[in-house]
A and B are shown apart, each in its own frame.
Chain A
Amino acid sequence: MQWRNVEQISCALETVFNGVLETRMRGVPIINPALSVQAIGFNPFNGDWLGVLITPWFMNLLLLPGLDSQWREQPPGGKFQQSFPYGTFEFTLAREAQLGTYALCSLFSPMFQFENQSAALAAAQAALQGLLTVPAARAVSRRDLLRGAFGSR
């Protein structure tokens, strides 16, 4: 799957996971009925696409591979680390017939703590914004300065 723009991504993700909600997840008691499937804030990041996916049963950070992504052809279930301004996160590889390979990092699951979609949306946006922001700087010690070990965490 070649990812081109936000509209295509949102449409594909929402179609697939709405399909999952109506079929495989039917009757599973971990659905928060107040929520719906929504793809949020997908933007290019480091050659891939980064965003958040909200469903009634999970909220994940999601990476969709660019054409040159090294992890594009790796088998599902594998893991890799991805650095962001906020820190390093571990992503798990997944494969879905209509989406191809993608990578996820769990934020919430299940989703019972969200009263409505706008609360889930606010949490997703805060997480995404936080992820791309460098945490407040720590005081740099002389030792760290000499080692060059500052600002990297």
Chain B
Amino acid sequence: MNETFYDVMRRQGITRRSFLKFCSLTAASLGLSPAFAPKIAQAMETKPRIPVLWLHGLECTCCSESFIRSGHPLAKDVILSMLSLDYDDTIMAAAGHNAEAIVDEIVEKYKGNYILAVEGNPPLAEDGMYCIIGGKPFVEQLKYAAESCKAIISWGSCASWGCVQAAKPNPTRATPVHKVPGLADKPIIKVPGCPPIAEVMTAVVAYLLTFDKLPTLDKQGRPQMFYSQRIHDKCYRRPHFDAGQFVEHWDDEAARQGHCLYKMGCKGPTTYNACSTVRWNEGTSFPIQAGHGCIGCSEDGFWDKGSFYERLTDINQFGIEANADAVGGTAAAVVGAGIAAHAGLTALKRARQSGAEQQ
């Protein structure tokens, strides 16, 4: 079976014109110049479709919900035609034993060549009994599918960090994918967020397909092109932060004027995500634009960091490095001017439009 993505799309009744439009949109969402659209088109027309297994552990399905609402109606058609052919228990037609048989079939037929997308995570307590899929603990299905996959995509904060089910005291020992003991050593792309932005999800899949390699990841394993900047860096309310104009109470004059939400607990200054640039619902808005602070849903352990409405005050909360690559909040003071100059250049590189290095 050497079906290409393009074949699948044509079969779904997608016109060539729409297909090319999808390619330009994908190039744009990856931060690539329009000159890359033909390259994406060519890859979709010629490369065999990569099979995708989409497993669901402990989760709320918000990742799938986000994904099927990708900005461009076509993006969802394309990606869904790619995925629903294989295994995704939320959207596939098969059920019961037939469905579970698909997992075996993919694992056998495409050994080493399929992408394993994981939504949610496995609970490890009581031998994984808190999440049973097809009569077996999810953790077993996960390990089995991971054994022969090409790469793993950890969709959302559940798979990436653990999210609410891993919040203290984590009674089921819900464990993010990369921390599952005994899991095959495969490259893992973390796409955190609760849920992640639809355009980011489709772009990650499209990138894997087009370039046949993983996107550049930061030290925490997230695609740099979408997670290298904080909400705060690109927030349209940033001028109000700089000018010291803060909302003090919900619905005060400052709130009506759209001032900075830092004092209302906004976690924008510590959250690495693309919400303030890509935005949501076809680029319509994002939480801060709707008048509520960022809750930091794409950050590790965001449920255990206190109230959503509590101000960031603890210096360590800021992840002093102001650097997506810094794990945790190491409070390293810049001392010498030499190091400071380096920090300046690093900040400059980070601020530059993503995609510039993706050629």
Contact = CB atoms under 8 A, between A and B. Distances in A.
A20 B343 contact: no
Contacts of B313: 29-30
A124 interface: yes
Contact of B246 (A24, A93, A122): A24
A92 B234 CA distance: 8
Contact of B258 (A30, A60, A77, A110): A77
B35 A147 contact: yes
A78 B242 CA distance: 15
Nearest to B318: A110
Contacts of A136: none
A58 interface: yes
Nearest to A61: B351
A106 B353 contact: no
A6 interface: no
Contacts of A113: 320-322, 331-334, 343
B331 A131 contact: no
B242 A60 contact: yes
Contact of A114 (B237, B311, B321, B340): B340
A30 to B, nearest CB: 8
A119 B236 contact: no
B238 interface: yes
A80 B336 CA distance: 34
Contacts of A59: 347
A76 B321 CA distance: 29
A28 interface: yes
B353 A88 contact: yes
Given A107-B348, A108-B322, A92 B239 contact: yes
A24 B243 CA distance: 8
Given A123-B343, A123-B347, A124-B344, A58 B336 contact: no
Contacts of B134: none
A119 B339 CA distance: 8
Given A20-B244, A24-B243, A123 B344 contact: yes
Contact of B242 (A28, A104, A126): A104
A59 B233 CA distance: 11
Contacts of B277: 90
Interface string A81-121: 10000111110111110000000111111101111001111
Interface of B: 35, 232-239, 241-246, 258, 262-263, 269, 277, 311-313, 315, 318, 320-322, 331-345, 347-348, 351-353, 356, 359
Interface of A: 20-21, 23-25, 28-30, 55, 57-61, 76-79, 81, 86-90, 92-96, 104-110, 112-115, 118-127, 130-131, 147, 149, 153
Given A23-B244, A87-B356, A110-B318, 6 more contacts: A21-B244, A28-B246, A90-B277, A118-B340, A127-B345, A153-B359
9 contacts: A59-B347, A87-B353, A95-B239, A96-B243, A112-B331, A123-B343, A127-B345, A127-B348, A130-B344
